[in-house]
Amino acid sequence: MEYFLIFVSAIFVNNILLAQFLGICPFLGVSNKLSTASGMSGAVCFVITLATVVTYLLNHYLLVPFGLEFLQTISFILVIAALVQMVEIVLKKISPSLYQALGIFLPLITTNCAVLGVAITVVTKEFAFGGAAPHMLNLGQAVVYAIATSLGYGLAMCLFAGLREHLAGNDVPKAFRGLPIALITVGIMAMAFLGFSGIV
Amino acid sequence: MALCLTVVCLVCSAVVGGAYALTKDPIDAAAQAKTTASIAAVLPAFDGVPEQGKIDVDGTEYVYYKAEGAGYAVISTTSGFGGALTLMVGIDTAGVVHNTTVLSHSETPGLGAKCTTDTHFMEQFRGFDPAAKKLAVTKDGGDLDAITASTITSRAYALAVSNAVKVFNQLAGGQSNE
Amino acid sequence: MSSKLHFITDGFVKNNPTFVLVLGMCPTLATTTSAMNGLEMGLATMFVLILSNIVISLVAPMVPDKVRIPVYITVIATFVTVLQLLMQAFTPAVYETLGLFIPLIVVNCIVLGRAEGFANKHSVGESALDGIGVGLGFTASLTVIGIVREILGSGAVFGWKFIAGDGILAFVMAPGAFLVLGFLMVLFNKYLAKK
C-alpha cells in the first residue's frame, strides 16, 4: 500500500517539475518536439533510478557509518558524473540503437538538478504517507520513489512538448514569443496539477 | 592527467575537511541553541539544563527533555499535508499543555504553513488540559478550531500534541487520562 | 578601471542570467516565494560563483583539456559544501528555508556556465568581477521575482504587510512561479532588451 502511495504522490501530487521545480533547464530546452522530449525523459528515468540506488548505498554504507554526511553533495555529484559516463560507454557497446536514441541527452544529464535533487531528497527527507508516522525511505521505497519521480518527469515533459508543438503554429505577440509563452503555459499546467494535491 | 585530478581532489578534500573542522562546533552550538530556545518557549521558566531522554510509545520512539520542576518537552512528529510536521510540545507537571512550537514542516505556504503564524490556532494549545477537553479539531468532535481551509494540517498538529500527551502520561508514571 | 566596470554591469541587462541567458531556472522558480528568500538564494549563489570563478581562472592553464569538466565540478562542489557548512553554522534558519536548493547550486548551470564560458579564458581579476556581476544580476532577478510574488501572494514586501488578508495564494504556490517569471520576461523583452 505504501509503495502505491509513494508512486502516486511522486508522479502527480509532488510532480518533480511542476511542484518541486527540479530539472527545469532541460525541460525548457528540449521540449520543443515530442520526440526529443520522450528521448530525454527515457534517459533521465534511467539515470535517476540508477543514481538513486548507487548514492543510497554509498550514503548508507560509507558516509553515515563514518560520520561523513557533510560530504553528500560533493560525493553524490561525482558519483553521478561518473555514472553518466559509464552508462554512455556501456550503452554504446551493448545497445547501439538505444545509444542512438538516448546518447545525445546523456552528457546533459550530469547537470540536470533532478538527478542530484532526487538523490539528496531520498537520503535526507522524512516521508509521510497516508497517516503513517514519518520515516526515512528504505532501499525498496527509494527505488520506487526514484522510478515514480522520473515517470512524473516524463509525463510532464511529454504533455508540455505536445502543447508546445501546437503553440509553434500560433500567432503569439512578439514579446511573448519563445520562453515567456512557454513559461505561462507551464504555469497553467502546474495549476491543473495542483488539483491532485491532497489525494495522498 | 591522472596526476592533475589527484592533486585537485586532494586539495579539495583538504579544503572541505578544514571547513568541516572549523564549522563543527558552531553547527553543534546552533543546533543546541535552537533546541534550548524551543524548550524554553514551550515550558514554564525553569532552572538548570533540561535532561534529554528517549522513550518508546506505541512502537514509535520519541525524544523528550525533562526540565526539573517545569515538566517535559516532547518532540512529536506526524504527517501533515505536505510531509512531516514536527512539533516541540511542552507539558507541565500537572499534565496540562503549556505551549507548542513547530520545529519543522513542509506545509503549503499561505495555507497549512499558517500553523506557524496563525495566533488564534496556536493559542488554543496554550494551557490546554487534555483531561478536560478533547485534543482534536471540531470537525472530528474535538475542542479545537482548525486553521481555515487547512483541516489536514490542523489534524496533524492536534495528533502530534495528543501523541506528546501520551508520551507524557507514560513518563509521568503510567496514569492515563483516557 | 572604468573599462573593467562593464564586466559587472553586463551581468545585469546584457547577460542577465535569468531573463537573457535563462540559466539556473530551478532555484529561480523554487525559492522566490518571498523577496527575502529570493535575495538570500541569490547571495548564496553569488558566493559560490565568485569563488569558483577565481579558482578556476587560476587553475585553468594547468588543467589538461580532457579532465576540464570534472575538475570544475569538483571545485564548485567544494565551495558549495563549504557554503553549506558555513550556513548551517551561522545562519541555520536561512539554511532550513532554502533547503535542498543550497546543495543544488552545484548543478546550477550559471556556475558551470561561467566557469566554462568565461573564467577559463580570462584573468583572475576579470573573472572575479564577472562573478560579482553575474551574481548580482542573478540576485537582482530573484529578488524582483520574489517581490512580485510576495505582493500578489501575501500582500507584503520583505515581510512588511501592507494589504490585509491572504492575497492570491496561487502566486506563492508552484503555478505562480512560472506565471510571474513568464510575464516578467515579457516586460524585460519589451522594455530592456533593446537590440
The predicted model gives C178-188 an average pLDDT of 92
Binning pLDDT at 50, 70 and 90, where does residue A37 land?
Answer: confident
Question: What's the rounded Cα separation, in Å, for the pair A170 and A111?
Answer: 32
Instruction: Please give the backbone phi and psi of residue C153, each rounded to the nearest 5 degrees, phi first.
Output: -85, -35
- Of B69, B104, B71, B113, residue with least CA distance to B90: B71
Contact B79 A131 (CB under 8 A): yes
Question: What's the rounded Cα separation, in Å, for the pair B19 and C85?
Answer: 7
User: What pLDDT is recorded for position B177?
Assistant: 44
Binning pLDDT at 50, 70 and 90, where does residue B175 land?
Answer: very low
Contact C77 A120 (CB under 8 A): no
| Chains touching chain B, criterion 3+ CB pairs below 8 Å | A, C
- Tell which A residues from 38 to 67 touch C, by Cβ distance under 8 Å: none
pLDDT in tens, C127-151: 999 999 999 999 999 999 999 999 9
More confident site: A149 or C21: A149
pLDDT at C38 over 50: yes
User: What pLDDT is recorded for position C145?
Assistant: 94
More confident site: A199 or C32: C32
- Which residue among C66, C74, C167 sits closest to B9, beta carbon to beta carbon? C74
Instruction: Please give the backbone phi and psi of residue B150, each rounded to the nearest 5 degrees, phi first.
Output: -135, 55
User: What pLDDT is recorded for position A132?
Assistant: 61
Preferred mutation among C74, C83, C95, C168 to probe B, highest tally of B CBs within 10 A: C74
Alpha carbon of B19: minimum distance to chain C alpha carbons (Å): 6
The predicted model gives C71-76 an average pLDDT of 90
Question: What's the rounded Cα separation, in Å, for the pair C156 and C34?
Answer: 9
For residue C73, what is its C-alpha cell? 565540478
- Of C41, C69, C10, residue with least CA distance to C142: C41
Mean pLDDT comparison of A119-128, C72-81, C95-104, highest-scoring range: C72-81
Contact A113 C73 (CB under 8 A): no
Taken as a whole, chain B contains a residue count of 178
Query: B-side interface with A, Cβ within 8 Å?
Result: 12, 16, 20, 60, 77-81, 83-84, 108, 152
Instruction: Please give the backbone phi and psi of residue C58, each rounded to the nearest 5 degrees, phi first.
Output: -75, -45
User: What pLDDT is recorded for position A130?
Assistant: 58
pLDDT in tens, A117-150: 999 988 888 776 655 666 788 888 899 999 999 9
Binning pLDDT at 50, 70 and 90, where does residue C1 land?
Answer: very low
Mean pLDDT comparison of A37-46, B100-109, C75-84, C160-169, highest-scoring range: C75-84
DSSP C122-174: S-HHHHHHHHHHHHHHHHHHHHHHHHHHHHHHHSEETTEE-S-S---GGGTSH
Preferred mutation among B79, B111, B140 to probe A, highest tally of A CBs within 10 A: B79
ipTM of the complex: 0.84
Q: CB burial class (10 A; 0-12, 13-18, 19+) of residue A94?
A: exposed
Alpha carbon of B23: minimum distance to chain C alpha carbons (Å): 6
User: What pLDDT is recorded for position C135?
Assistant: 92
Radius of gyration over every alpha carbon of chain C, rounded to an integer in angstroms: 17
